Amino acid sequence: MKGPLFYSKILLFGEYGIIKDSKGLSIPYNFYNGALKTEDNTSAEAIKSNESLKKFTFYLENISSEIVTFEIDKLKEDVNAGMYFDSSIPQGYGVGSSGALVAAIYDKYALNKITVLENLTREKLLQLKAIFSKMESFFHGKSSGLDPLNSYLSLPILINSKDNIEATGIPTQSTSGKGAVFLLDSGIIGETAPMVSIFMENMKQDGFRSMLKDQFIKHTDACVEDFLKGDIKSLFNNTKQLSKVVLNNFKPMIPKQFHDLWKKGIETNDYYLKLCGSGGGGYILGFTQDFAKAKQSLKDYKLEVVYNF
């Protein structure tokens, strides 16, 4: 028996900023998914996943009852029977592989769980986010809880601030439009924890803090508002500014071999790149008003369209 599917996610806007109360917008990305499974558990991937689940179970047993209670005995029994997370979501790519796993475990083993079918008040969303944050901290050291929330609800999530989140609708995609949001595969696996610690270290500097507030968060907030309103012209102006700010101030999060490509996008206006998740590798997020042109410009790279304008 394969459990329900949980999808990957893409944080369109808000990486790093949401740690410091910027707006954010996260959308489910149904191209990748994962599910808990017990049969066919002899492959190397399944064994590795099962080993990881054993450690995760031990962690959950220790946090159980703080803000969430699990059927730990049932979970242990299933893990000992070889249960693993069968997933197509690439790890270290910024599309929420651990988030989908957390959502799947909560869905199957949490007692008195908040379900997608009930009236999702802001309080319930914040409660879910707090539970997921605690659960996902096992993988990242510090987690906002947004990835699992997105995966669990399979709805776009608008982050207004740390204590103000809501499920939202996004403008319908245009099937005939030339513009697109796309993923560019860097071919490198990124690690979240080291990137977050570089960020936290930088936050000790006054200059970095004011850049974050006056430039990074300002443009991030504007991008979220433009995207939700469907104001494409303003969205691309703000995305260009955001791309510049990231290139100038988040260099360690951009793999070295992509610095020139990043700059080329800003100079030619063929596309604008931004971080997808914490950076350091994985996917890079691209925005373009003419996907055919961007594809030509980036012909040496593998691109996947996420959203059409």
CATH number, domain with residue 286: 3.30.70.890
pLDDT mean across residues, the chain = 93
Residues 11-59 have pLDDT tens digits of: 999 999 988 889 999 999 999 999 999 999 999 999 999 999 999 999 9
Instruction: Choose one of 117, 139, 167: the last residue of a domain.
Output: 167
CATH number at residue 127: 3.30.230
| 8 Å CB contact between 183 and 276 | yes
State yes or no: pLDDT of 122 exceeds 90: no
Segment 192-220 mean pLDDT: 93
pLDDT value at residue 256: 94
> Is there a single domain that holds both residue 187 and residue 213?
yes
> Is there a single domain that holds both residue 17 and residue 158?
yes
> Is there a single domain that holds both residue 143 and residue 271?
no
Which parts of 32-109 fold into alpha helices (H)? 44-63, 72-80, 97-109
Beta-bridge partners for 25: 13, 158
State yes or no: pLDDT of 131 exceeds 60: yes
State yes or no: pLDDT of 140 exceeds 80: no
Instruction: Choose one of 139, 167, 195: the last residue of a domain.
Output: 167
* Residue 78 maps to a domain: yes
Segment 69-96 mean pLDDT: 94
- State which amino acid sits at residue 65: S
Identify the H or E element spanning 94.
none
pLDDT value at residue 47: 96
What whole-number distance in Å separates Cα of residue 82 and Cα of residue 255? 37
> Is there a single domain that holds both residue 24 and residue 98?
yes
pLDDT value at residue 181: 97
Residue 288 is encoded by which pair of tokens? 């373009």
pLDDT value at residue 71: 96
> Is there a single domain that holds both residue 15 and residue 154?
yes
> Is there a single domain that holds both residue 202 and residue 71?
no
| 8 Å CB contact between 9 and 150 | yes
> Is there a single domain that holds both residue 40 and residue 151?
yes
Q: What are phi and psi of 180, to 5 degrees?
A: -160, 155
State yes or no: pLDDT of 107 exceeds 70: yes
State yes or no: pLDDT of 1 exceeds 60: no
Containing domain of residue 215, as a range? 180-308
pTM: predicted TM-score of the whole model, two decimal places: 0.90
CB within 8 A of 290, min separation 6: which ones?
178, 179, 270
pLDDT value at residue 174: 85
pLDDT value at residue 132: 96
Query: Whose structure tokens read 């029994």?
Result: 77
> Is there a single domain that holds both residue 23 and residue 159?
yes
Q: How far apart are the first and last CA of the chain?
A: 39
